[in-house]
Amino acid sequence: MTDSQTGDYPASVQAVLSILKQSGTPFEVRSFSEPARQASQAAALVGCPLGAIVKSLVFRKHFSGDLFLALVSGQNRADTHILSQLAGDAVQPAPAEVVLAETGYPVGAVPPIGMHGEYMVVMDADLMQYPRVWASAGAEHILMAITPADLQALTRAQVEQIRVKRG
C-alpha cells in the first residue's frame, strides 16, 4: 500500500514523507503497533530479508565533532576504520542524547533523510542488491520502502563497502 496522505502521521514522519513527495520519489510507508528499534524487528514486521533494512547510524567525528551518517544494511556491522578513512577523521557512534539533539530523531528512529542539519552520508554497497530497502520514516513504528538508487540520490550518499569483514 502506497500512502499518499501525511496528515495522520507525527510531525517527525511528515517531514520525511514531504521530502519524498516533493522529490517525486516513489515510496511505500507502513505503520505498525509494535516498534522496530532493531533491524531484525523491522525485517520481521515488513517480511523482507534482514539485509534490505537500512540502519541509519549516526557517528561523530573525533576532532571536528561533526556528525556523519552511515546507511548500513541490516545484516552488517559498519567498520569504523573504513568509516574513519572515508570521513577523514576518527569516528565513533554518537551518544543517544547528541543524536536526538542534533538530528531531531531518537536512536532507533533516525531516518536516512529529513534530519536537522547537513551530514556527510555513506551508504553500504550491500544495500544496492535489493529491489527496494526499508528504513525508518522518522518514528520507531513507521517504516518506508524506497529503491536503493533513489535513497542514494536523495541522500547524496557515497556508496562504499563499509561492513566489517566476516572472517
In the sheet with 28-31, reading across from the earlier edge strand, the strands are: 28-31, 142-146, 133-139
Residue 108 is assigned to a structural domain of this protein: yes
User: Which residue do the cell numbers 517531514 mark?
Assistant: 15
Domain carrying residue 135: 11-160
pLDDT over 90 at 166, yes or no? no
Residue 165 is assigned to a structural domain of this protein: no
Residue 2 is assigned to a structural domain of this protein: no
Residue 110, CA distances (Å) to 26, 102, 165, 166, 167 in order? 20, 11, 25, 26, 30
The domain total for the chain is: 1
Of the chain, the percentage scoring pLDDT greater than 70 comes to 95
Residue 6 is assigned to a structural domain of this protein: no
Distance CA 107, CA 142 (A): 14
Residue 75: per-residue pLDDT: 96
Residue 99, CA distances (Å) to 68, 90, 150, 164 in order? 11, 17, 24, 23
Residue 4: per-residue pLDDT: 43
User: Which residue do the cell numbers 576518527 mark?
Assistant: 90
Query: What is the pairing mode between strands 120-124 and 142-146?
Result: unpaired
Residue 166 is assigned to a structural domain of this protein: no
User: Which residue do the cell numbers 562504499 mark?
Assistant: 160
Residue 1 is assigned to a structural domain of this protein: no
Closest CA to 126 of 81, 69, 70: 70
> What CATH number does residue 137 fall under?
3.90.960.10
Enter the C-alpha cell of residue 72. Answer: 548500513
What pLDDT digit, counting tens, does each position of 114-150 carry? Answer: 888 788 999 999 999 999 999 999 999 999 999 999 9
Residue 116: per-residue pLDDT: 82
What amino acid occupies position 82? I
What pLDDT digit, counting tens, does each position of 28-43 carry? Answer: 999 999 998 899 999 9
Residue 167: per-residue pLDDT: 57
Residue 70 is assigned to a structural domain of this protein: yes
Residue 7: per-residue pLDDT: 56
Residues 6+ away with beta carbon under 8 Å from 111: 16, 56, 105, 135, 136, 137, 138, 144
**Total residues belonging to the chain:** 167
Residues 6+ away with beta carbon under 8 Å from 62: 89, 90, 91, 92
Indicate the SS3 state at residue 122.
strand
What pLDDT digit, counting tens, does each position of 48-72 carry? Answer: 999 999 999 999 999 999 999 999 9
Confidence of residue 81 (pLDDT cuts 50, 70, 90): very high
Residue 5: per-residue pLDDT: 47
Residue 54 is assigned to a structural domain of this protein: yes
Residue 106: per-residue pLDDT: 93
